[in-house]
């Protein structure tokens, strides 16, 4: 009996050890997931610019050849005539009395062939007219865009409002458009989009969550805003044949004179196509990269952004 009780106690201790180990592993796994989620979120904030819109080659569109108008052909008729010409009654066709049926079927196919050719032509001609209309519209738009026409730029922007669909960019984008000129004004998120804490996993496997230092917080927000500016500039270069674009990021900031939050410009950049295209977007630091361009920013690590006067007053 004593040995039985000892075995029971040993089994209980073993079960407790396994339970504690399972709890420890679960805590460790939960901590790892929390840290990974935090890291992915902050990485996404500063890499908005790495996912640009599809590129549109307007010169290539302008030079696309005119669709070829279809002609009425006699494919079905030719095939039916060929079948009649090559038909030779077989021995078993004659014995079974099937020759007459086969010849009748071939003659019916010959009779129907011109109508099938006509229907094929009508379908091809309908598709041709649609292709021709699309070709003319696209070519006209490309021609006007390459000439810098403001209305053409507006048409492209209105068709591609997905520029503002990405949640990380902000709540809206407005545009000032003139001939050979565009000034995009994204309304970026406030610094509330930045987490106020840091996460890491301790050697014990547990999660450590501490307040993010003000300097790191402000620099992370700066990188986010600069990443949005790069994203907007890059998207515009992808969809428009312009050599330069202006981007001014705005956000709601407290006006200490009025005590209210107001939409305030905090970053203004003049992006130039050749320089932008030379960047390795996946490797740059968003804030550092703006040193390649004419820009205005008023940022301090200890205080964050302050209001600026945009490069273009419009």
Segment 172-203, tens digit of pLDDT: 899 999 999 999 999 999 999 988 888 887 87
Tens digit of pLDDT for each residue in 65-122? 999 998 878 777 667 676 666 666 665 655 545 666 666 776 776 667 777 878 888 8
- Helix segments in the chain, DSSP class H: 2-45, 58-62, 75-86, 91-95, 99-146, 150-159, 214-239, 273-277, 286-289
- Domain ranges for the chain, please list them: 23-52+163-305, 54-159
153 and 240 Cβ atoms separated by less than 8 Å: yes
pLDDT in tens, 143-166: 999 999 999 999 999 876 655 546
Beta partners for 268? 248, 296
pTM, two decimals, is 0.80
For residue 169, the SS3 value is coil
Angle, to 10 degrees, between the axis of helix 99-146 and the axis of helix 75-86?
A: 160
Residue given tokens 């209105």 in the structure block: 158
Q: What residues contact 240, with CB distance under 8 A and at least 6 apart?
A: 145, 153, 156, 182
């Amino acid at each position: 009996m004593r040995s039985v009780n000892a075995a029971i106690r040993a089994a209980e201790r073993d079960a407790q050890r396994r339970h504690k180990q399972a709890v420890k592993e679960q805590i460790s796994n939960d901590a790892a997931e929390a840290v990974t989620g935090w890291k992915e979120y902050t990485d996404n904030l500063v890499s908005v610019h790495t996912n640009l819109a599809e590129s549109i080659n307007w010169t290539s569109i302008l030079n696309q050849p005119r669709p070829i108008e279809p002609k009425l052909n006699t494919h079905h008729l030719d095939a039916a005539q060929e079948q009649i010409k090559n038909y030779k009654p077989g021995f078993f066709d004659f014995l079974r009395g099937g020759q007459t049926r086969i010849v009748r079927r071939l003659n019916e196919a010959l009779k129907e062939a011109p109508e099938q050719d006509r229907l094929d032509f009508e379908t091809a001609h309908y598709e041709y007219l649609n292709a021709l209309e699309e070709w003319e519209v696209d070519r006209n738009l490309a021609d006007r865009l390459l000439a810098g026409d403001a209305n053409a730029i507006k048409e492209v922007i209105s068709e591609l409002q997905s520029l503002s669909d990405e949640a990380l960019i902000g709540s809206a984008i407005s545009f000032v458009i003139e001939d050979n000129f565009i000034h995009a004004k994204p309304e970026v998120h406030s610094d509330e989009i930045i987490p106020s804490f840091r996460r890491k996993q301790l050697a014990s496997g547990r999660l450590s969550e501490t307040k993010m230092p003000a300097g790191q917080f402000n620099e992370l927000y700066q990188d986010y805003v600069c990443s949005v500016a790069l994203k907007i500039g890059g998207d515009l270069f992808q969809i428009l044949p312009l050599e330069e674009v202006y981007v001014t990021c705005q956000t709601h900031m407290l006006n200490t004179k009025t005590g209210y939050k107001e939409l305030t410009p905090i970053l203004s950049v003049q992006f130039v196509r050749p320089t932008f295209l030379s960047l390795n977007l996946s490797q740059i630091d968003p804030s550092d990269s703006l040193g390649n361009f004419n820009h205005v920013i008023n940022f301090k690590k200890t205080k964050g952004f302050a209001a600026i006067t945009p490069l273009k007053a419009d």
